[in-house]
Amino acid sequence: MISVVVVEDQSLVRDAIATLLSLEDDFTVVATLKNGKDAWQWLETHPSPDIVLSDIEMPEMSGLGLAEKLHHSNLSCTLLFMTTFAKPGYITQALALGVKGFILKEADSHYLIDAMHRVCKGERVIDPELALMALDDNNPLSEKERKALKLAGDGLKTQDIARQLFLSDGTVRNYLSEAISKLNATNRIDAARIAQRKGWL
């Protein structure tokens, strides 16, 4: 029996997926959770499931935030993303964090079930449309620029960003200036908006 945790912020979608999986003889849904934060707290205190089937864009903690937590943990579960947001940056980040599957929510139920079986066997499953988008991803931001820009997009001031990243104010200003220039943005907020739209933050 394949144990599954479903992570999705829309309750109707979450319940529908759980119901669909419960109709399959070889799947058992052990938890349904509304965001990455709740999922991480659950995973820390329960036996590791075989699959975590998660949305990406969620409040509190995104699917990518959850992927990062899992990547640096000793948990053995496999993460499979489902999304309506086909952003190339998301795919690139997810693959770098060891995510095994990436499918669109519009996919039919047979595709989802097949993808889950395949990732359980150790295969990587990426929707062909998403795979092509990942090849076209040309994120110009360095990791430090990305982190600074994300915090700026969250509304933090330079001093607060510097404190969180353990950098000097001047270094943070340089990172933000480089990011603004690379993205041809008018200011840090505009740069964060552009990067967010591409899935780079």
**103: Cα separation from own chain's centroid:** 12
Of all residues in the chain, the percent with pLDDT exceeding 70 is 95
Both 11 and 78 in a single domain? Answer: yes
Both 10 and 49 in a single domain? Answer: yes
* Bridge partners (DSSP) listed for residue 53: 6, 80
- Among 84, 105, 135, the domain boundary falls at 135
For 165-177, b/e burial (b = at least 16 CB within 10 A) is eebeeebbbebbe
Strand extents, DSSP E, 114-182? 125-126
Report pLDDT for 137: 62
Domain that holds residue 188: 143-198
pLDDT per residue as tens digits for the range 89-111: 788 788 888 898 888 888 889 99
Residue 61 phi, psi dihedral angles, 5° rounding: -150, 130
- Residue type at 105? K
pLDDT band at 4; cut points 50, 70, 90: very high
Both 54 and 131 in a single domain? Answer: yes
Report how far residue 149's alpha carbon sits from residue 157's, in angstroms, rounded to the nearest whole number: 11
- Among 90, 105, 135, the domain boundary falls at 135
Both 157 and 81 in a single domain? Answer: no
Mean residue pLDDT across the chain: 89
Both 117 and 176 in a single domain? Answer: no
User: Any idea what the CATH number is for the domain that residue 68 is in?
Assistant: 3.40.50.2300
Both 152 and 175 in a single domain? Answer: yes
Both 129 and 154 in a single domain? Answer: no
- Among 102, 117, 135, the domain boundary falls at 135
| Length in residues, the chain | 201
Which residue intervals of 74-135 are DSSP H helices?
88-96, 109-120, 128-135
pTM beyond cutoff 0.85: no
Q: How many domains does the chain divide into?
A: 2
Both 128 and 45 in a single domain? Answer: yes
pLDDT band at 134; cut points 50, 70, 90: low
pLDDT per residue as tens digits for the range 174-193: 999 999 998 888 899 989 98
